Amino acid sequence: ELRYADRLNCVAELLDAAVARGGGARTAIVGADGNWTYAGLQARVDRIAHVLRADLGLASGNRVLLRGANNPMLAACLLAVLKAGCIAVPTMPLLRARELATIGAKARVDAVLCADGLRAEIDALAGPPAPVLFFGAAGGAHGADGARSLEALMARHDAPFAAADTAADDVCLISFTSGTTGVPKGTMHFHRDLLAICDCFPRHTLDTRADDIFIGTPPLAFTFGLGGLLLFPMRVGGATVLLEKLTPEALLAAIEKHRATICFTAPTFYRQMAPLAAKYDLASLSRTVSAGEALPLATREAWQKASGLRMIDGIGATELLHIFISAAGDQIRPGATGKPVPGYQACILDGDGAPVGPGVVGRLAVKGPTGCRYLDDARQSDYVLDGWNLTGDAYEMDADGYFYYRSRTDDMIISAGYNIAGAEVEEALLRHPAVLECGVIGRADVERGQLVEAHVVLKDGFGADPAMALALQEFVKQGIAPYKYPRSVKFTDKLPRTETGKLQRFKLRAS
Ligand code: 3UK
């Protein structure tokens, strides 16, 4: 049972408390241009909070849109918004002007803090919705002029900033979902939610400590990254490595260079890192976390073989803020996501909302200290039923209480009366030595209702020809029940993915 005070500012707990405990000289953030200590981070956060209040005239509850790639200044801006009692509206770096305008309008933003390197799309907005300040990656010089430069304004404030007196259940974050189905939805989270996620998954499953060094790819604008690469490290007084634009090679090199201990990224990244891992010294790593998409067994095995580390799979959602089912160490059961993280409960429901027992595929329902509150009320009842969050995933439980991912509820393929989970076919295909990546969807078909269709990216050196398509079909028939094999195989160079690393099946269906 988690207990928090009624009046609570999460940044006071995460940052000021770390400094007050004597951790001011410890490294908080490692960036491309050097390290910031906890005291150094606090000083910057306080200056930015003063700018928000004094120069922009913001009050508690005002909303601030944030735009930037993962770097120390973006982290400082995010924390300053919360410390000032305002609401952070983080946005993904690749968003274009029109999408930013939509989010800005939906979230009714009152101000914008934007990385100078990403200003083009903000400049392209017809009328910026609110005052905009620009910042550099490490708080240094950049292109923006005096009155629009965050750093220039920060230089005028050197007094400590006392955290705004907020309620534990004041909204502090509006986070937009990745839009795997097309339309991003805004979700609201409280000050206490940001602490609750630190006190569940990382504490119980990862056993995080002050000497941990966190690294990974998810943007801070994605709650996977916000938790794993900012809040979790701060909660234990550890360090986070924030680097922009990480390729698989660059992530491996950064793990080696910074002696990272915990890595967060998506399955597709582990798949790409596995064949390269032998070239790097990864001895510092002790925990590797995969989330965002189902982890295929073939990927789990490839990474374990390459790194000597077992993969910690975990399912999280923007609506629930972070990971709620996972397993580590001896608790890992390959093929299963894991068990509910302490603090959360999970069950499987049938179409009428009644719980089903082991071995039956149904709708995953989750309850815990964090939960869904959509900005857009109309969708709330689709996601929450009697306090249980319906994540939109089809799962199955075994007799020991392990949860097995099957598919997204709306991605289940129904072909000639059979229910086929695309993820299972993908997993079978990934075991073929020629397959680098694949996505399996149901294509409308007069005869069968839907036809299993595989979109396949081959590894270098393999030919995309009818013989290969046939070989892959035969291979799947040998691996899983033959009726699941892809009757259509299409080769492509690249699969459509969101910035969070998720396959966009709706785009495959439309292709
Ligand atoms: C899918 C998974 C199988 C699943 C997220 C960690 O992904 C995150 O949030 P989103 O809102 O998407 C949620 C949906 O993604 N998913 C995520 N992880 C897994 N499916 N196995 C997994 N391990 O469909 C879920 O409903 O973008 C992940 C932490 C914070 C997050 N927001």
pLDDT of residue 141: 80
* pLDDT tens digits, 285-328: 999 999 999 999 999 999 999 999 999 999 999 999 999 999 99
Ligand 1 centroid to 129 CA: how many Å? 31
Is the Cβ atom of 314 under 6 angstroms away from ligand 1?
A: yes
Look at 63 and 246; give whichever has higher pLDDT.
Answer: 63
Q: What is the pLDDT of residue 418?
A: 85
Q: Is 503 helix (H, G, I), strand (E, B) or coil?
A: strand
Confidence check: pLDDT of 432 > 80: yes
Per-residue pLDDT at 194: 98
Whether residue 225 has its Cβ less than 6 Å from ligand 1: no
- Nearest-atom index, ligand 1, CA of 392: 26
Higher per-residue pLDDT: 125 or 6? 6
> Is 37's pLDDT higher than 90?
yes
- Among the listed residues 295, 285, 194, 273, the one whose alpha carbon sits nearest the alpha carbon of residue 241: 285
pLDDT score of 129: 65
Question: Does the pLDDT at position 502 exceed 80?
Answer: yes
Check pocket membership of 179 for ligand 1, CB cut-off 6 A: no
pLDDT confidence bin for 344, thresholds 50/70/90? very high
Query: What's the CA-to-centroid distance between 292 and ligand 1, angstroms?
Result: 4
Centre of ligand 1 from the C-alpha of residue 377, in Å: 22
- Is the pLDDT score of 209 beyond 80? yes
- pTM of this prediction? 0.94
Residue 283 neighbours by CB distance under 10 Å: 10
What SS3 class is residue 164? coil
Helix, strand, or coil here: 334? Answer: coil
Query: What value of ipTM does the predicted structure carry?
Result: 0.99
Helix (H) / strand (E) element for 226: namely: helix 223-226
Instruction: Report the separation in Å between the CA atom of 391 and the middle of ligand 1, taken as the mean of its atom positions.
Output: 9
Q: Kindly list the distances between the CA atom of residue 312 and the CA atoms of 276, 277, 382, 386, 391, in Å, as whole numbers in the listed order.
A: 20, 17, 30, 30, 20
Q: What is the mean predicted confidence (pLDDT) over 251-264? A: 98
Residue-level pLDDT at 179: 62
Cβ of 500 closer than 6 Å to ligand 1, yes or no, is: yes
Note the pLDDT of residue 454.
Answer: 97
Average pLDDT over residues 384-406: 95
Give the distance (Å) from ligand 1 centre to CA of residue 446: 33
CA of 30 to the centre of ligand 1 (A): 27
Identify the bridge partners of residue 164 per DSSP, sorted by sequence position.
Answer: none
- Determine the distance separating the centroid of ligand 1 and the alpha carbon of 53, expressed in angstroms: 35
**Dihedral sign for Cα atoms in the order 178, 440, 336, 271:** negative
Could you give the domains of the chain? 34-199 (3.40.50.12780), 264-408 (3.40.50.12780), 413-510 (3.30.300.30)
Q: What is the pLDDT, as a whole number, of residue 138?
A: 82
Q: What percent of the chain has pLDDT over 90?
A: 81
Amino acid 108: pLDDT = 95
Better-scored residue on pLDDT, 420 or 16: 16
Test site for ligand 1: of 393, 408, 505, most ligand atoms within 8 A of the Cβ: 393
Locus of tokens 């309620």: 167
Closest C-alpha to ligand 1, atom 10 = 317
Q: Is the pLDDT of residue 192 over 80?
A: yes
322 within ligand 1 shell (Cβ under 6 A): yes
What integer pLDDT is reported at residue 140 of this predicted model? 80
E runs forming strands in 4-110? 27-31, 34-37, 63-67, 87-91
Mean pLDDT, range 471-481, rounded to an integer = 93
pLDDT above 60: residue 181: no
Dist. CA 388 → ligand 1 center (Å): 17
| Atom of ligand 1 lying closest to residue 391 CA | 26
pLDDT band at 145 (very low <50, low <70, confident <90, very high): confident
pLDDT at 411: 83
Q: Which of the listed residues 293, 323, 332, 402 should we mutate to test ligand 1's pocket, taking the one with most ligand atoms within 8 A of CB?
A: 293
Chain-wide mean pLDDT for the chain?
94
Give residues with Cβ within 8 angstroms of 229, minimum separation 6: 70, 214, 215, 216, 218, 220, 240, 241, 242, 264
Tell me, what's the pLDDT at 273? 96
The per-residue pLDDT for 139 is 79
Q: Is 313 in the pocket of ligand 1 (CB under 6 A)?
A: yes
Residue 489 Cβ < 6 Å to ligand 1? no
The atom number, within ligand 1, closest to the CA of 177 reads 11
Average pLDDT value for residue range 112-128:
89
Q: How far, in Å, from the CA of 222 to the mean position of ligand 1?
A: 11
Q: What is the mean pLDDT of residues 457-475?
A: 96
pLDDT at 403: 98
From the CB of 323, is ligand 1 less than 6 Å away? Answer: yes
Is the CB–ligand 1 distance for residue 317 below 6 Å?
Answer: yes
Q: Tell me what pLDDT residue 409 has.
A: 87
